[in-house]
Amino acid sequence: MKKEIKNMKFKKFFTISYAIFFLFFVLFWILALSLKLNLDLESIYYWLLLVGLVILRLFYKIKSDSFLNFGLVLFAIGVIFFLFFLKNQSEFIFRNSFLFLFFGTILSLLEYRNERQQERK
């Protein structure tokens, strides 16, 4: 029980730290963009986002459905942006959507495999 509480605390601490860091990073990125600093932070952003998705999966056991759903919603938003000629913005949304969809599909495969193994047992 104690161990579980310790574990919970660790998860909470880790998640909050990550969230703060991620938020700080996004704010810094926005600042760099608004100051027109020639810094390419987009690729780092996706790696950080991937870490976030892994945290969600590992610590909170979020299922593939949620990632896929969110990915699809993002995709639809991207299409709407594209419709209004906001190509650069839609590209950014599509990139995020891709990350969620890919992550979700890989999780689906893992879930499929686990289910099959359980069925065999």
* Smallest separation (angstroms) from another protein to the CB of 21: 18
* Smallest separation (angstroms) from another protein to the CB of 57: 15
* Smallest separation (angstroms) from another protein to the CB of 112: 6
Distance CA 7, CA 10 (A): 5
Amino acid at 46: Y
- Scan for tokens 């979020």, then name that residue: 62
List the Cα angle 74/11/5 in 5-degree steps: 140
Can you read off the two tokens belonging to residue 34?
């608004």
- Residue 103's Cβ-side half-sphere holds a number of Cα atoms within 13 Å equal to 26
**How many residues interact with another protein (rule CB under 8 A)?**
42
Nearer to another protein, 18 or 98 (CB): 98
Task: List contacts with another protein (CB under 8 A).
Answer: 37-40, 42-43, 46-47, 49-50, 64-65, 68-69, 71-72, 75-76, 78-79, 82-83, 85, 87, 90-91, 94-95, 98-99, 101-102, 104-106, 108-109, 111-113, 115-116
